Homo-oligomer: A and B are copies of this chain.
Amino acid sequence: MQRIQLVKDELSFSRCIQGYWRLNEWQMSVAELQAFVEHGLERGITTTDHADVYGAFTEEGLFGRMLKQAPHLREQIEMVSKCGILFPCEAQPDVTGVHYNSGGDYIIRAAERSLRELNTDYLDLLLIHRPDPLMDADEVAQAFNTLKASGKVRHFGVSNFSVAQFALLQSRLDEPLITNQLEISLIHSEPLFDGSLDYLQQHRINPMAWSCLGGGKVFHDFQYKALREAAMDIAQHYNAELDQILLAFVLALPCNAMPILGSGNTQRIARQVDATKLQLERQHWFALLEAARGMPVP
């Protein structure tokens, strides 16, 4: 599988990334999870995407239990995690209302918790999960410096940030933010038009792309009937499946987005990895865009 060089001589990701958003729903035993990770590695997926908040703050712990059993896997994978979202749940008994926290001390505590939960000494990449209107960029910068100096986190990025929010945080940092993890799909094509992807291409930053399949809605919802039919016609042309076409749409973008695959099914993952071999012709790519937006390009 193609690898994307994120930091020269220091860090590269596999083009497709395995997401563990729903790990707690997969009901995998430790051995099954290890087998699932190894299956991904066989297909070239080395990068794993986590967040403290996934599974109501339980996802990292599940993955960490597996890593404890199979510690040799740590050096074969890259680990991305995120912090900053808080909501009341069993694992956060002190939290009484949904909120974000990008305070300096909080970021350090959250990253340290992620390391403990994940059973690892370092994160390859830590992301601020959501833009926080209360973010003091100087505080974040200081927290990043502390985490970097201690070796606990090697690189930093953001998720769901607008261009202005990205530029603000970047202005305070000594090193470049190496990604912005964005929702990019045929049913969420805003980043193609609101400047987000233009800005990333300009600065040669590769986005991670979440929910490339639209959370399954394209497959079932009446609202997306026209898109689904157009995509299935095109899938037939390429002798491909619907999910592959939806991924190929994102993969065609010139910013080299790295799709996060959210499935826990090895067959689906294998099939979706194969989407990286599809090269949509421009006329098909635009036909998908038009079907998704319900209007012709001008």
Residues of chain A whose beta carbon lies under 8 Å from any beta carbon of chain B: 86, 95-101, 130, 133-137, 160, 162-165, 167-168, 171, 192-195, 197-199, 201-202, 252-254, 282-287, 289-290, 296-298
Contacts and interface: CB of A to CB of B under 8 A. Distances in A.
Contacts of A163: 164, 195
4 closest Cβ pairs, A-B complex: A164-B195, A97-B283, A164-B198, A99-B286
A202 B171 CA distance: 7
B283 A134 contact: no
A45 to B, nearest CB: 25
Copy tally for this chain in the complex stands at: 3
Contacts of A202: 137, 164, 167-168, 171
A253 B164 contact: no
B135 A167 contact: no
B99 A133 contact: no
A282 B100 contact: yes
Contact of A97 (B86, B99, B287): B287
B99 A193 contact: no
A225 B217 CA distance: 34
Contact of A133 (B135, B253, B284): B253
13 contacts: A97-B287, A98-B290, A99-B285, A133-B289, A134-B285, A162-B193, A162-B195, A162-B198, A163-B164, A164-B199, A167-B198, A168-B201, A171-B202
A134 B198 contact: no
Most buried by B among A130, A165, A197, A297: A297
Contact of A197 (B133, B160, B201): B133
A100 B195 CA distance: 18
Given A95-B283, A286-B100, A298 B164 contact: no
